[in-house]
Chain A
Amino acid sequence: MKVPWIFILRRTVFLFPVLLGVSFIAFVILNILPGDPALMLVGERASKVTLENMRKKMGLDKSLIQQYGIYLKKLLVLDLGNSLVSREPVLGALLKRLPATVLLASASIVVASLLGIFCGTLCAIYRGGYIDMFLTSLTLLGISMPVFWVGLMLILIFAVTWQIFPPSTEEVGLEYLILPVLTLSMRSASYIARITRTSVLDVLSLDHVRTARAKGLTPMTVTLKHVLFNAFIPIITVVGLDFASYLNGSVITETIFNWPGVGRYTMNAILQRDYPVVQGMVILGAFVFVSMNLLVDLSYGILDPKIRDDYLQGRF
């Protein structure tokens, strides 16, 4: 298969203005907020001289534009500054926590996709039947329940009452992963199921499916090969966007289950007014989202030959 390099290159180039815009917005918003980061570091009882020295050291005595210039210069060498609380480099702190988030996000998206696609396909195949009605109601429930509530209920039932699972993470491991994955994947699975149902129903009515059935293929082969494959584009869009948002740290789920990922770290940074960390997370988040969108767009090319041709011939 040919790789649409021009498409990839063009989209990668577009990444820079997006990141520049995001960095500017994040910088301005966090800098116009009240509160003096230098004062946070030296403490309220520090002398004026100490405070001024710290302000100079942090470059806070310069104009906002100059400060942004310095910030951008540092950003080019991947220096996101230091945390005000732990004083460690922000990029290192975020990267350290990223594996835990990637694990949770990947596990959740796998569970959500498997469950969602499976239930959605079942609903489409048995359209109007009891299975369809039952699963459609279940997905409606899944979409309607807020994530924090689902998390708390799972803790109450499985951790506190039955004591099957631990309520909060002590180390990154399977036993601690299950409840957060269930919490995070429930809503996603419901969305995916609904999208799959609609998308599969559209494909089921197409001529090629009838032909496949007429050829005497088993229902499983027809469903997997001729229906699902063709119904994947809307599904992959939802899966991609959900995965990107999980990778940015599922703030609520990670906090409720004490999961040591970037989401909980960002939450604590917000509460502790650790501005460089929040700023860094906004930029990392934008990067993850834009990259994920690119991957989703590329996957369209793999799934649909017409789109692939468009990419290869520069029609995008």
Chain B
Amino acid sequence: MDVVKRAVFFLIPFFLIILGCGVSSKSNKDKNIFVDYLSSNPGTLDPCFGVDVDEARIQAKIFNGLVRYDSDLRIIPDLAEGFSISEDGKTYTFKLRKNVKFHSGHTLSSADVIFTFKRLMSKQTASSRAWVLDQILGFDEFNSGKANEIVGLKAMDNLRIEITLKKPFSPFLGLLAMPACYILSKEKLYLSDDSKKLINGTGPFRVDVWNEDLSLDFATNKDYFAGKPEISGYRFRILSQTGVQESAFLTGGSDILELRDVNFNRFYNDAKYKKYIKTASALNVYYIGFNCQKKPYDDPRLRQAFNYAIDRKLLLKAYKNNQGILAHGSIPPGLPGYDESAQAYLYDPARAKKLLTQMGVSLPFKTSVWMKPNQENLDIVQAIQDQLKKVQIDLQIKKIDWAMLKEAINNGEPEMYFLAWFADYPDAENFLAPLFHSQNWGNGGNRARFKNNEIDALIEKSQKELQHSKRIAIYKEIDKKVYQLAPWVYLWHESKSVLLSPRVQGYVQTPIPHVLKGLKLKLAIK
């Protein structure tokens, strides 16, 4: 047994070292740094190239736009002290705040704004967000490289900018509040000459260290024009998997956890956690779209029959823990234009069957729905498949990779498809024009290939209407009319919940992520 004894003597110190290393594990609980997380390394911090929600959350901390949304989704001045709109609705004049400093120490001027917008619109930049400014007069010529200047973009003096549009476009201010329009420094785009990662901005936090794949650390901007943040730093850890995110939260490695369908109930039903859950509408709509140009789906009665035949209330409860609101239009709650009192298709299989009989379709009616192979959504569609059997609709499910699905839908191949739409900017127009204007078939957003001259005219009218209340009334009218024609099976608007660490104070859950600047966050430190 000599060998065994020697081995034991060798192994004991080995395990002691391992345990020693473990116990010294760090904790963030004693630091005044808010620890958030991202599911993947941000592709870029440059607002020109940002595409996803996470990048928008980060950029909101580093930069400011001319205007921004507050937590009630009202547009308020940000770097602009104020703005005015000409009577014809085509000219916007912005006056910048004085003495706003970039993280590099440079002072903001109208040259920075012109530089930022030109960079976003230029052909060389080839930004996927150039469309945000495509309403500006001269955009097309500049973006295609035919012109060197943009006719509709002028610096009046050091602090005043004038923007002229091609035609009145009421959601324009909302577009300017998007991260793509965050103002960059013309003098010093990056804080360090050797790293293109440390980008320069005017926001409440500045990029401090970016350890790719691990964390992105922000230090506070002491000279922030709206006052210094309460916390001393903001950290985004890169935690790519739901399990990793949850275990980090449970062990004090992060201060926030985004709840999903799989873990919502577990935390919600636990009194220890329930009071720390914050929920807000997430500005989206889930739907099953029809190809409204294909026969017999071009008949609204068939599409309405589907809406009556599906028990959405049951599905929302069973699969989404009631974390959302049944849709009775495409505009989600939280946006002006959402009509709480609108009439919805209630679950009525008898009526669905009657509509099918009226149309004279031969039963059982065979159809198919195309979708991404995502298990959560597959469960829902399988339940829908069962419900449709009751009205003699035989639904086949076709699971297909996202890239192929998108291409097929844009080419008008599937008769039905399961999709969702998330707001680009928080204006109801974003839930109407891209989705239902006939100019936007396919890639533009109108994947249902819906075409209705009256709706097209109303959408165009709403875009020109500058008076807020009148515009909202038109939005409601459009939403109602489209809903009656049922280009989709309207499912629901999902809300989003987060679980906070008990030490977090002043966190507001908002429908769009880039509203949060992190200024009012406080941490109770033991």
Task: Name A63-99 residues within 8 Å CB distance of B.
Answer: 83, 85-87, 96-97
Check if B444 sits within 8 Å of A45, measured CB to CB: yes
Given contacts A34-B403, A260-B214, contact A122 B3 (CB under 8 A): yes
Check if B248 sits within 8 Å of A175, measured CB to CB: no
Which residues of chain B are near A268, meaning CB under 8 Å? 40-41, 240
Q: Report B369-413 CB contacts with A as 1/0, cut-off 8 Å.
A: 000000000000000000000000000000001111011000000
Chain B interface, number of residues (Cβ within 8 angstroms): 54
- Min CB distance B250 to A, Å, is 5
Given contacts A41-B126, A118-B7, A273-B403, contact A164 B22 (CB under 8 A): yes
Which residues of chain B are near A57, meaning CB under 8 Å? 126
Tell me the complex Cα distance, A81–B122, Å: 23
Task: Name B24-47 residues within 8 Å CB distance of A.
Answer: 24-26, 40-41, 43-44
Q: Which of A153-161, A278-286, A290-298 contacts B (4 or more CB under 8 A)?
A: A153-161
Check if A44 sits within 8 Å of B3, measured CB to CB: no
Check if B49 sits within 8 Å of A87, measured CB to CB: yes
Which residues of chain A are near B7, meaning CB under 8 Å? 118, 122
Tell me the complex Cα distance, A86–B19, Å: 38
A22 at the interface (CB under 8 A from B): no
Given contacts A96-B212, A170-B214, contact A175 B243 (CB under 8 A): no
Check if B211 sits within 8 Å of A46, measured CB to CB: no
Check if B240 sits within 8 Å of A264, measured CB to CB: yes
**Chain A interface, DSSP helix/strand/loop, else mixed:** helix
Which residues of chain A are near B241, meaning CB under 8 Å? 255-256, 258
Which residues of chain A are near B402, meaning CB under 8 Å? 35
B51 at the interface (CB under 8 A from A): yes
B123 at the interface (CB under 8 A from A): yes
Q: Which of these, A46, A164, A219, A257, contacts B130 with CB under 8 Å?
A: A46
A246 at the interface (CB under 8 A from B): no
Tell me the complex Cα distance, A268–B49, Å: 19
Q: Which of these, B22, B144, B404, contacts A178 with CB under 8 Å?
A: B22
Tell me the complex Cα distance, A231–B4, Å: 20
B247 at the interface (CB under 8 A from A): yes
B106 at the interface (CB under 8 A from A): no
Given contacts A35-B403, A87-B43, A178-B18, contact A97 B213 (CB under 8 A): yes
Check if A87 sits within 8 Å of B247, measured CB to CB: no
Q: Which of these, A42, A220, A257, contacts B128 with CB under 8 Å?
A: A42
Tell me the complex Cα distance, A158–B19, Å: 10
Which residues of chain A are near B239, meaning CB under 8 Å? 168, 258
Q: Say which size band chain A's interface belongs to.
A: 35 or more
A313 at the interface (CB under 8 A from B): no
Given contacts A85-B43, A170-B253, contact A42 B21 (CB under 8 A): no
Check if B247 sits within 8 Å of A155, measured CB to CB: yes
Check if B247 sits within 8 Å of A220, measured CB to CB: no
A265 at the interface (CB under 8 A from B): yes
B463 at the interface (CB under 8 A from A): no
Task: Name A243-289 residues within 8 Å CB distance of B.
Answer: 255-258, 260, 264-265, 267-268, 271-273
Q: Which of these, A43, A131, A265, A271, contacts B51 with CB under 8 Å?
A: A43
- Listed residue (B211, B212, B214, B238) with the most chain A CB atoms within 10 angstroms of its CB: B214
Tell me the complex Cα distance, A265–B240, Å: 10
A50 at the interface (CB under 8 A from B): yes
Which residues of chain B are near A169, meaning CB under 8 Å? 214
B493 at the interface (CB under 8 A from A): no
Q: Which of these, B40, B41, B253, contacts A168 with CB under 8 Å?
A: B253
B237 at the interface (CB under 8 A from A): yes
- Min CB distance A272 to B, Å, is 7
Q: Which residues of B contact A (CB under 8 A)?
A: 2-4, 6-7, 18-19, 21-26, 40-41, 43-44, 49, 51, 123, 126-131, 134, 143-144, 211-215, 237-241, 243-244, 247-248, 250-251, 253, 401-404, 406-407, 443-444
Give 17 A-B contacts (CB < 8 Å), ordered by A residue. Answer: A33-B403, A41-B126, A53-B126, A96-B212, A97-B212, A159-B251, A160-B247, A166-B26, A166-B253, A169-B214, A175-B21, A175-B25, A220-B6, A255-B240, A258-B241, A264-B240, A265-B213
Q: A41-B128, A159-B247, A168-B248 are in contact. List 7 more A-B contacts (CB 8 A).
A: A42-B127, A122-B3, A167-B251, A171-B211, A257-B244, A258-B241, A271-B40
Q: Which residues of A contact B (CB under 8 A)?
A: 33-35, 41-47, 49-50, 53-54, 57, 83, 85-87, 96-97, 118, 121-122, 125, 131, 152, 155, 158-160, 163-172, 174-175, 178, 219-220, 223, 255-258, 260, 264-265, 267-268, 271-273
